[in-house]
Chain A
Amino acid sequence: MRLFFGSCFTLALAAAIGLGATWVTLTRGVAFGSLTIGAWTAWPKSGSVDIDPYARATIARSGELPVGVGDGVAFYAHTDDSGNVLDGRCTFVVSGTTPAARYWTLTLYDAHGRLVANTLNRHNFTSAEIVRETDGRFSISIGPHARAGNWLPSGGVEQFVLAWRLYDTPIGVTSLTAKEGPMPAIVRKGCT
């Protein structure tokens, strides 16, 4: 009898541990070989056959198609440089320079990877349409209220995600470091 109860207990606990761990790793997006520069994280291997089983499972579950390594690399930010969650009710400023690439795009998504509705129908900027300073630096305001210059509306969503995609970048992304690949800083400027 004790053996029976013991086995039942063990099996139930094993199922809870195993499925719980799978759930946590897949929803949090755990993957190996990540590359973090400031608030930005990329998983260059996710765009190649060297993709690890966790990234494969995450992608299969979400339904997205990763950017292939011969195409470019995608960086994601869920927080600003100080670790504050990207809240659509706050204003953030993204500024600086990017690693060399023929084109880049910056896109704002909600936590599930959907575009965020706004009256301007603006969801992204490309490197070709951004207004820059004379020295090539740029600054993009992200927030619920209209700003002069480069403004990306965040629609007041509870949490948003920024995706910075570099296309046709000459830098070996697998060996990219913060020094050769400076990514723009994300700074919170206050909340409404």
Chain B
Amino acid sequence: MKRLPLWILGAVLLGGIVHLSTVLAMPQMATQDAYSRLALITPVNAVVQLAAPTAKDAVMPFMDPAFAVAVCRYDLSTGALKLSAPLSQAYTSVTFYTRNSVAYYAINDRAAGRRAIELDLMTPEQHAQLPEEEDVTAADRLIIESPTRRGLIVLRALAPEPGLMAMARRALAGAQCRIEAAPPQR
């Protein structure tokens, strides 16, 4: 019994390691994260509008019901992605998430400063492979690098009052995302 404090100390240290490794592993282990939920109801590389959250049912917890939401679940394996989203009258934002729900980039209508938000999404490798001239002509082209091959683009259009939800949904209906270069024919 003299050794009991030593055993407990060992358990606490080991417990700390267990704790840290489970926290770090959680994003990889989670089966109910946003991407997994959306993978069931959205196609790849296409913009789909999500049903508005209700008391009975919501795609994700803590969704803002004042917004019309559309999602482009992307996979950059076959090429870079082109996104265009027309702006609604009130407030429109586009947020980019990695496969594990980390928001790595967000832009709103004011920052976009035009009639539409238009940008190219690619992996750092695809960005590096861009021909140089193209990069120069692309000065007014917004290029975003995705840290992961797969991820989510979430487009949100605000309905400042419930009656304007149809307007917000119409604006999002014009949004598009598609792979730029067709994959090589086989």
Spell out A's residues near B (CB within 8 Å).
Answer: 2, 6, 9-11, 13-19, 21-22, 25-26, 46-49, 51, 53-54, 56-57, 59-72, 102-103, 105, 107, 109, 112-118, 123-124, 126-129, 163, 165, 167-168
Contact = CB atoms under 8 A, between A and B. Distances in A.
Contacts of A63: 30, 32-34, 36-37, 60-61
A65 B97 contact: yes
Ordered nearest first, which 7 A-B pairs have the shortest CB separation?
Answer: A18-B18, A17-B15, A113-B61, A68-B106, A70-B106, A14-B14, A128-B160
A107 B55 CA distance: 12
Most buried by A among B15, B21, B90, B154: B15
Contacts of A53: 23-24
Nearest to A58: B26
A21 B96 CA distance: 31
Interface SS majority for chain B? mixed
B66 A105 contact: yes
Interface residues of B, number: 64
A165 B19 CA distance: 32
A70 B26 contact: no
Interface in B1-34: 3, 7-8, 10-19, 21-24, 26-27, 29-30, 32-34
Contacts, number: 204
B56 A117 contact: yes
A114 B61 CA distance: 6
Contacts of B7: 6, 9-10, 13
B90 A103 contact: yes
Contacts of A118: 55
